[in-house]
Amino acid sequence: MQEDFYEDEQKLLDTIALEVGNYIEKYQTLEKKAALRRTLERMERLTLLGEMTAGIAHELNTPLGNILGFAELIKDHNTDPDIDSDISIVINSVIYSREIVKRLMFFSCEMPQKLEVQEIKPVILFALSFLKSNFQKKEIKNELFIKNENITAKFDSVQITQVLFNLIINAIYAYPEKSTIKIIIDDDESNLYLKIEDQGTGIPENIKEKIFDPFFSTKPVNYGCGLGLSVVYGIIKNHNGQILLQDNFPNGTIFIIKIPLK
């Protein structure tokens, strides 16, 4: 059998293949190091900001409660329509501020966590039912796909509901009217997988690393405070889970949540 290459040629090809392999391996190692560094930097920022927001949330709760209490007292005893209109603005503003404080407490892990082994389907159905008017407003449909109707996992139902609210509301905001958002529930031997797929405008490559940062938002001013995805990230992290981001085809975004079953 005739050899394809002379001995010198074979040695040269082997050397080139080895060098190319080493280069690819070094490149992959550098990519992994860069990804790890970005993850560590994000964790450090989140830890520091978590400590700050915990203190801020506690400090704001009491004065906001006082303002709300006295504002409602004034409203109950007031007979002037002009004052009634103004005090209603004050009450609504305080309620909105308390909602931000609540999200800050979620983000800083100060909210109590009640982990229980339970079915995921009722939580999903509740979230979809609660957001029914949001879907109807933009004439958007939702499709729920569950591999196993009786999938159970260990999670805090209130916090996972908060995760669903944030991700689905974001999907509705980004989605064109008269379209469909898919929610897919699956599991394996170790984990629960929750996917939310939209075909909206998608997330630009240059901001993908920032979307879980606190107070980062691409929405117009007064539409949101940029804490939604930070809250989601914090909750999933506290469940020892992961949240991943993928591009949908032909356009849009897929959020994948992975939570241990036990």
Closest CA to 136 of 166, 198, 181, 96: 181
DSSP-derived pairing of the beta strands 253-260 and 242-247 = antiparallel
pLDDT, tens digit, for every residue of 85-105? 888 888 888 887 777 676 666
Q: Specify the pTM.
A: 0.59
Q: How is the chain split into domains, by residue range?
A: 1-110, 116-260
Specify whether the backbone of 25 is left (phi greater than 0), alpha (psi in -120 to 50) or beta.
alpha
Indicate the length of the chain as a whole number.
Answer: 262
Tell me what the pLDDT averaged over the chain comes to: 80
Same fold for the domain at 1-110 and the one at 116-260? Answer: no
Q: Tell me which of 107 and 94 has the higher pLDDT.
A: 94
CATH class of domain segment(s) 116-260: alpha beta
Instruction: Average the pLDDT over each of 22-31, 49-58, 124-133, 138-147 and give the range with the smallest value.
Output: 49-58
Closest CA to 191 of 137, 88, 260: 260
Non-local CB neighbours of 157 within 8 Å, separated by 6+ positions: 114, 116, 118, 123
Q: What is the CATH number of domain 1-110?
A: 1.10.287
* pLDDT band at residue 214 using 50, 70 and 90 as cut-offs: low
**Residue 258: what pLDDT?**
94
Structure tokens at 133: 């008017």
Mean pLDDT of 186-213: 82
User: ω into residue 63 within 30 of 0, thus cis?
Assistant: no
Question: What is the secondary structure of 180-213 as a DSSP string?
Answer: EEEEEEEE-SSEEEEEEE--SS---GGGTTTTTS
Strands (E) in the chain, as ranges, are 116-119, 141-146, 152-155, 180-187, 191-197, 242-247, 253-260
Place of tokens 């920032």: 210
* pLDDT band at residue 1 using 50, 70 and 90 as cut-offs: very low
Distance CA 9, CA 17 (A): 12
